[in-house]
Chain A
């Protein structure tokens, strides 16, 4: 048996490696994603005042600091047993919606769109955002940049730093929204709605109008039938900031809906000897290995999962697209990994609409944007939907609010098992007896991986060198290197 490693030496946001185990006759035996673990967080957190956690945890990740900031702030609210005033909640959710608009924009245009606008077989050097802009026009590039900039402006406006937000504090937020700020927030919200609609039109024109792409999306190679997780509001509509965690089965029916504080009753973590990272699964179904279906506790937490786990979107335009999504792809739930890109764009529209809705609400400028916690701190769990999946922060403190124990389940970790399974599914369809593993083949395997927008660690590091990707073929028997392909 051969082992093929796709080794993306990442520069900016963590790195991972894909190992493909190929039998001597060329058939794919298995595929795993191997990623490094962030170590020492618990130790780092212990002994610190819990109110520091929203600021500290936001520094763990250079990709989604806002998600950590919000989950930590919610966990702090729970530690102190404080109920937020309506305005405080609205400000947090408004700000979080702006973050989503920026984050989903980046993923779609920089990572998702190149495979579809330029095609999965396009040369790697062209299959990027520059290629997309060349294909669709410089004006669109400028709009993408503006959407990101304006999303950052919301974070900055609310008193936080644009990179590491600091304004959510136990009991609320540190700064109110003035009428002048509201005016600008409405303007940004209006633009976000317009931009998202325009993005969904690109999905229509480029992806859905192309029969080959639609066939690829709904094909077996990119299909996984698992449980799906997402936060929902009181009406079972998608919510990024608050609500209950709802899990639906592979048949789409509700399996469980629980409060954040009960997460340990429902989620357990499986350990494999070849990875330091744990594999979360549904405790009440059980770990049955890297397999899908109703008997396996593997679940996904992605934009597609959130749509599957909900009964719809809470805003009108996004709801229309939600309905169209399921009508086009054959009803609920949708099991096609590549449809995650489209689901992400539906969420982009929801984020824009929600931002506008909250920014326009008269109560957003209300004076009660914080209550001072007075309860004795104990223990608390905060859950939000990070763009890459359900994010859980859990802290225990002593009576002085000093952290004694901390636990995080981050967005991508939820999807660790399904990503490996999705890669295996894609590779199985592409790597068969006698086939060559060329650049387009590798890219199609990576497409399964990319749709999850996985985030493996934290900000920077790793060599931005002459070897952005190495493919190693090794003998599984003795580990000897059989072949090496470098993608420069």
Chain B
């Protein structure tokens, strides 16, 4: 099914690590999208704190996937939201998918093995400041970028953001009280 038609099976996939400061941004953005997309047929929100092979399973069974992830881009201000397509990324070179396979390889492998892989994969990346400190609190610039990331995802899904009364970044859970 061609992307953009009403029967298109769409998946929003938030990836990241929810306890590594800004690395949580993909997860947080997907969490913010979940209630906004609840009423939309054929759109499913998925989450993953793993990559590699798991991407293959997570992208299986849809026509159009939008992945939200953290980007580390030296020289680009944290909080910048970038859009990419899966085909912008070339094949796996081992080291940049250090423990498995990268996204293009996951897609190709899924197809080679007869999986129902998406025709189109968009990636919304939020440039992060600190993905190395163990913390459940993102930095202010990245927290402030969640709304834009949400809007970009909705635009890619061709959903009018004004149809939703409240659009805001979800609050992070407070750490449990000792």
Contact = CB atoms under 8 A, between A and B. Distances in A.
Interface string A5-33: 00011111111000000000000000000
A107 B176 contact: no
Among A56, A142, A458, A466, residue most surrounded by chain B Cβ atoms (within 10 Å): A458
Contact of A11 (B97, B128, B132, B135): B97
A446 B96 CA distance: 12
Interface stretch (B34-42, B45-53, B150-158, B162-170): B45-53
Contacts of B105: 128-130
Contacts of A110: 52-53, 99-101
Contacts of B89: 464-466
Interface stretch (A34-42, A262-270, A368-376): A34-42
Contact of A10 (B98, B135, B178): B98
Interface string A438-479: 000000001001100111111111111110110000000000
A227 B10 CA distance: 53
Interface string A160-201: 000110000000000000000000000000000000000000
Among B48, B84, B99, B102, residue most surrounded by chain A Cβ atoms (within 10 Å): B99
Contact of B51 (A12, A44, A48): A12
A69 B92 CA distance: 29
B16 A461 contact: yes
B173 interface: no
B81 interface: no
A37 B51 CA distance: 20
Interface string A71-107: 0000000000000000000000000000000000011
B103 interface: yes
B176 A52 contact: yes
Contacts of B103: 11, 464
Contact of B113 (A142, A458, A469): A142
Contact of B98 (A12, A49, A129, A464): A12
A48 B175 contact: yes
A107 B94 CA distance: 11
B19 A60 contact: yes
A459 B112 contact: no
A487 interface: yes
Nearest to A466: B88
A130 B112 contact: yes
Contacts of B92: 128-130
Contacts of A130: 91-92, 105, 108-109, 112
B17 A8 contact: no
Contacts of B94: 8, 111, 114, 127-128, 446, 450
B51 A163 contact: no
B20 interface: yes
A335 interface: no
A437 interface: no
Interface string B70-81: 111100000000
A323 to B, nearest CB: 30
Given A12-B51, A454-B98, A464-B89, A129 B109 contact: yes
Among B52, B69, B98, residue most surrounded by chain A Cβ atoms (within 10 Å): B98
Interface size grouping (class) on chain B: 35 or more
A48 B99 contact: no
Given A63-B99, A133-B109, A125 B19 contact: no
B95 A459 contact: no
B171 interface: no
Interface string A349-383: 00000000000000000000000000000000000
B178 A12 contact: no
B99 A455 contact: yes
B134 A60 contact: yes
A136 interface: no
A163 B109 contact: no
B91 to A, nearest CB: 5
B26 interface: yes
Given A59-B19, A461-B16, A463-B71, A107 B99 contact: yes
A164 B54 CA distance: 13
B72 A461 contact: yes
Nearest to A47: B178
A39 B96 contact: no
B29 to A, nearest CB: 13
Given A12-B52, A13-B51, A40-B135, A48 B112 contact: no
Interface in A111-139: 111, 114, 124-130, 133, 138
B157 to A, nearest CB: 21
Interface of A: 8-15, 36-41, 43-44, 47-49, 52, 56, 59-60, 62-63, 106-107, 110-111, 114, 124-130, 133, 138, 141-142, 145, 148-149, 163-164, 402, 446, 449-450, 453-466, 468-469, 487-488
Given A130-B105, A460-B15, 12 more contacts: A8-B94, A13-B98, A36-B132, A63-B50, A111-B94, A114-B94, A129-B105, A129-B109, A449-B95, A461-B71, A465-B88, A465-B89
6 contacts: A12-B51, A12-B96, A48-B175, A59-B17, A449-B95, A459-B17
Top 5 closest A-B pairs, CB basis? Answer: A8-B95, A12-B51, A459-B17, A461-B131, A44-B134
Interface of B: 15-20, 23, 26, 48-54, 56-57, 69-73, 84, 88-103, 105, 108-109, 112-113, 123, 125, 128, 131-135, 175-176, 178
